[in-house]
Amino acid sequence: MFTEIPSERPITPLLDSVTNAADLRLLALDQLEQFNHELREYLIYSVGQSGGHFGAGLGVVELTTALHYVFDTPNDKLVWDVGHQAYPHKIITGRRDQMTMIRSKEGPAAFPLRSESEYDTFGVGHSSTSISAAMGMSLGMRAMGKDNQAVAIIGDGAMTAGMAFEALNHAGHEKADMLVILNDNDMAISDNVGALNKYFTRLWSSPTYSSLREGSKKILQKSTTAWEFMRKTEEHMKAMVAPGILFEELGFNYYGPIDGHDTEELVHTLANLKKLPGPKFLHIVTKKGKGFAPAEAEQIKYHALKKQNTNSSPAVAKPTYSNIFGNWLCDMAEVDERLMGITPAMREGSDMIRFSETYPKRYFDVAIAEQHAVTLAAGMACEGAKPIVAIYSTFLQRGYDQLIHDVALQNLDVMFAIDRAGLVGEDGPTHHGAYDYSFLRPIPNMVIMAPSNEDECRQMLYTGYQYQGPTAVRYPRGAGIGVEPQAQMQLLPIGKGIMRRQRSTQQDTAGKSIAVLAFGSCVNFALAAAEELAQQNIDISIADMRFVKPIDEALIAELAQSHEQLICIEENAIIGGAGSAVLEYLAEQGIQTPCQLMGIPDRYIEHASPAEQFADIGIDSAAIQQLILSLL
């Protein structure tokens, strides 16, 4: 058991001898325990250096080794759901020495990525896609005449999503030749682990039992009564020691649960299952954070780590936008009993812990079920409640039809607190909130707000809550700029921006007059650029537009008339974004003032630090200055 993160690279001779999965398969079975010890120690060390997902990978060390040991990867396909747990997989498959740079601009991605390695069979980052993808691979290999296996590894949290059960239902119908492994580290059904269950799992997965079962089936099916009696007897035997009847009814042969940290048992069971045709379901029980005592004790805290800080005097952390939301939620709930808080398994990330503890009867964690979360809110609103859906921008994409059909079409009183909007840094393109302006703007009845600081966020949340109809307040990941939120809540005028800096008509600007129309977090980039430009005797106007919809048409018209050039800047895709709304209005009114758009370009922005990403796409202070100087 490890208790602290090594400051120096551990000595791992067996791990160092494995440069890919083929090397792993050269090891003797009795060497795997030592290999796993070294793999776990190196994982703890490398994540300590790089930061990143931690507990999930520690929990699947033995499973990862067993899978690559038994299956002919990369010809056999492993699909890791979500991908939080894929760090051991990356270490085994040729990326060991790069792991201290994971999630950095020059290092491996945070999640499996097809372009990074042939062992990464499917790009992931969102939950509950693995069974569908593995089934598609299985059917594709069948059609192409390939004799390879497909394996989906999914956690008990991801199994709460409807998509996983849709895939299970279809796979059973198609008799897809695939294996689904449920990595269970929290569910109550894990209580059945024991010697008797282990014995039956090995028995049921053995070729002998499978052969006898199929032979008996052919004989007994001649008598419907006899076959039904045998089937029922087997079903009830399994029910006594295994919680797998649901999966059996969906057409899978269920095995388990077994100890997911018993490497030898995993190898034997997987080797047996590899020989069996059709859809198979293996239930394993693991410990998230296995082998690192602090992570075992506090699994939520150690879901991910920050880089180890060598500074003895770390800076005091500023409140994040999530903190602003969490505090406002409790303040609002105290004065309005109609308020209901809904989250799709993002209690900690959305900072709803205090709310969930203070108002447990008004808190609803629907698990990884974004579609259900949105329609649940719609139903609540029908009965006069005031639901708040706290959701990440990237995950709201999964509930888009429900947002249109169930909320906006009926003009229901639902507010969306959209966290992680814009670029999110090291997690990369699967987690960027790059499209919410674009996909929310076309929806009738929607009001969309974008705060530029902490106090504005609080007041927008209050404004959206008081508005009668669907609203969205979208705010970025991480800390704000240090503006203290005012305790007193106030309504903002819907659809009205404010001037944050007014160009002086008296000052010589050495060129044409320019106004920047900034949205959300980009207001602060614009203000910083203006301060730098002022040192060069260049004065510009800056508008904090505040509302993406309805957009402040009067302010746009005023700035277009009083300035020779407009610049729109946003932390969203340029296509269909807030700048597009400005251009649409200018075109509609026949206003010909030139307008440049700055935002996220038409490509995926790869993992890097936020500062590197802003510089890459050209929406930071330096990029704004450069554009303005070029226009002048």
Q: What is the DSSP string of 295-333?
A: HHH-TTTTSEEPPPP--SSPPPPPPBHHHHHHHHHHHHH
For 363-413, how does the pLDDT look when each residue is reduced to its tens digit (9 = 90+)? 999 999 999 999 999 999 999 999 999 999 999 999 999 999 999 999 999
Question: Could you count the other beta carbons within 10 Å of the beta carbon of residue 106?
Answer: 7
Phi, psi of 629 (to 5 degrees): -65, -35
549: left (phi over 0), alpha (psi -120 to 50) or beta: beta
Please tell me the predicted confidence (pLDDT) of residue 202.
63
Query: What angle do helix axes 553-562 and 578-589 make, rounded to 10 degrees?
Result: 70
> Where does the pLDDT of residue 303 fall: very low under 50, low under 70, confident under 90, or very high at 90 and above?
confident
- Decide if pLDDT at 193 tops 50: no
Mean pLDDT of the chain: 91
d(CA 77, CA 93): 13
For 102-159, how does the pLDDT look when each residue is reduced to its tens digit (9 = 90+)? 999 989 999 999 999 999 999 999 999 999 999 999 999 999 999 999 999 999 888 8
Note whether 568 and 579 are within 8 A (CB).
Answer: yes
> Where does the pLDDT of residue 196 fall: very low under 50, low under 70, confident under 90, or very high at 90 and above?
very low
For 254-284, how does the pLDDT look when each residue is reduced to its tens digit (9 = 90+)? 998 899 999 999 999 999 999 999 999 999 9
CA-wise closest residue to 181 among 305, 291, 89 = 89
Under 8 Å CB-to-CB from 142, ≥6 apart: which residues?
176, 177
d(CA 280, CA 278): 6
What domains appear along the chain, each with residue ranges and CATH number? 13-305 (3.40.50.970), 321-474 (3.40.50.970), 498-631 (3.40.50.920)
Note whether 53 and 112 are within 8 A (CB).
Answer: no
Note whether 74 and 128 are within 8 A (CB).
Answer: no
For 238-249, how does the pLDDT look when each residue is reduced to its tens digit (9 = 90+)? 554 456 778 888
Give the CA dihedral 489, 490, 494, 499, nearest 10 degrees.
-110
My answer on whether omega of the bond before 550 falls inside 30° of 0, hence cis, is yes
Average pLDDT over residues 300-328: 80
d(CA 288, CA 292): 9
d(CA 626, CA 228): 77
Tokens 């087997």 sit at which residue?
Answer: 234
pTM for this model (two decimals):
0.87
> Where does the pLDDT of residue 216 fall: very low under 50, low under 70, confident under 90, or very high at 90 and above?
low
Note whether 158 and 81 are within 8 A (CB).
Answer: yes
Note whether 99 and 46 are within 8 A (CB).
Answer: yes
For 407-461, how does the pLDDT look when each residue is reduced to its tens digit (9 = 90+)? 999 999 999 999 999 999 999 999 999 999 999 999 999 999 999 999 999 999 9
Distances (CA, A) of 422 to 31, 210, 286, 476, 600: 46, 52, 35, 6, 9
Please tell me the predicted confidence (pLDDT) of residue 242.
53
Q: In the beta sheet, which residues pair with residue 14? A: none
Active site residues: 288, 370, 398
Average pLDDT over residues 182-200: 55
Average pLDDT over residues 526-549: 96
The b-or-e profile of 209-227 (16+ CB within 10 A means b, else e) is: ebeeeeeeeeebeeeeeeb
DSSP class of residue 572 equals: E
Residue type, 73: T
- Decide if pLDDT at 605 tops 90: yes
Q: Tell me, rounded to whole angstroms, the distance of Cα 500 from its chain centroid.
A: 34
- Of the chain, the percentage scoring pLDDT greater than 90 comes to 80
Helix (H, G, I), strand (E, B) or coil at 543: strand
